[in-house]
């Protein structure tokens, strides 16, 4: 199944103990159930403080595990957790109360993995030619038009009953904006030192039923 893409802004909205998301190494994790299970555990504190944020800097991108370092005093490899020890990270030394029966650590548990963090988002205007209503959406560059349509549904529950067009040309709903010729010109605007918000591409929606016929 194709993963769902999320923007950093969407992740940032889930920043409470009862609705706790983080992103790391390009993945989005919903840790709400983990927070509920370990409520009151001091090892949960760094995760709570990071709610809604990207914590990729906690991890080694090559191994996908918490970063490690060499303890200068012992010469042993230890986990590098400057924010404080985190759930499922072993204690620095042997301890009889360390329970290893949790299975996979939370950052590798697919149960918590809900999607992918977009590498780049962009804004588009969606104009309903039937009602003249216009909405501006932040969308992920990796999303197909169908996936963008899903984002638009709160504004128009019948969005699938429309033909989506750009510059008068019907869009291929199975591919991205870029693949449909809707260029992302943010870098060009940056190079020219212009405000990219001054030009937002517009998608026009045309209702499929011909209302002019009786």
Q: pLDDT tens, position by position, for the chain (214 residues)?
A: 889 999 999 999 999 999 999 999 999 999 999 999 999 999 999 999 999 999 999 999 999 999 998 888 888 888 889 899 999 998 877 777 777 778 899 999 999 999 999 999 999 999 999 999 999 999 999 999 999 999 999 999 999 999 999 999 999 999 999 999 998 866 665 665 665 566 789 999 999 975 444 3
Last residue of a domain, one of 117, 138, 165: 117
Same domain, 129 and 194: yes
For residue 51, what is the domain's CATH number? 3.10.120.10
For residue 202, what is the domain's CATH number? 3.10.20.90
pTM of the model: 0.86
Classify each residue of 26-46 as buried b or exposed e, where b means 16 or more C-beta atoms within 10 Å of its C-beta.
ebbbbbbebbeebeeeeebeb
Same domain, 47 and 139: no
Same domain, 159 and 200: yes
Calpha distance 54→27 (Å, rounded)? 9
Long-range pairs, 3-6, Cβ under 8 A, ≥24 = 3/115, 3/116, 4/114, 4/115, 4/116, 4/147, 5/115, 5/116, 5/117, 5/118, 5/140, 5/142, 5/143, 5/147, 6/115, 6/116, 6/117, 6/118, 6/140
* pLDDT attached to residue 212: 44
- Total number of domains constituting the chain: 2
| Residue listed under structure tokens 């104009």 | 127
Same domain, 113 and 127: no
* pLDDT attached to residue 34: 96
* pLDDT attached to residue 92: 78
> Within a 10 A sphere around the Cβ of 1, how many other Cβ atoms?
3
Give the structural domain span for 71. Answer: 5-117
């Amino acid at each position: 199944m194709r993963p769902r893409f999320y923007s950093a802004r969407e992740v940032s909205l889930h920043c409470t103990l009862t609705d706790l998301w983080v992103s790391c190494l390009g993945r989005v994790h919903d840790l709400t159930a983990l927070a509920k299970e370990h409520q009151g555990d001091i090892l949960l504190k760094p995760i709570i403080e990071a709610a809604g944020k990207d914590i990729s800097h906690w991890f080694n991108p090559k191994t996908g595990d918490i970063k490690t370092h060499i303890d200068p005093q012992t010469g042993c490899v230890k986990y590098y957790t400057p924010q404080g020890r985190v759930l499922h990270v072993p204690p620095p030394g042997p301890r009889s109360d360390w329970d290893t029966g949790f299975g996979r650590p939370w950052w590798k548990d697919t149960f918590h993995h809900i999607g992918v963090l977009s590498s780049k988002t962009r804004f588009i205007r969606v104009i309903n030619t039937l009602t003249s209503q216009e909405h501006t959406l932040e969308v992920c560059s990796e999303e197909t038009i169908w996936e963008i349509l899903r984002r638009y549904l709160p504004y128009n529950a019948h969005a699938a009953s429309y033909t989506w067009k750009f510059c008068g040309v019907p869009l291929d709903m199975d591919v991205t904006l870029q693949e449909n010729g809707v260029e992302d010109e943010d870098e060009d605007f940056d190079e020219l030192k212009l405000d990219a918000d001054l030009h937002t591409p517009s998608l026009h929606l045309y209702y499929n039923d011909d209302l002019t016929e009786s």
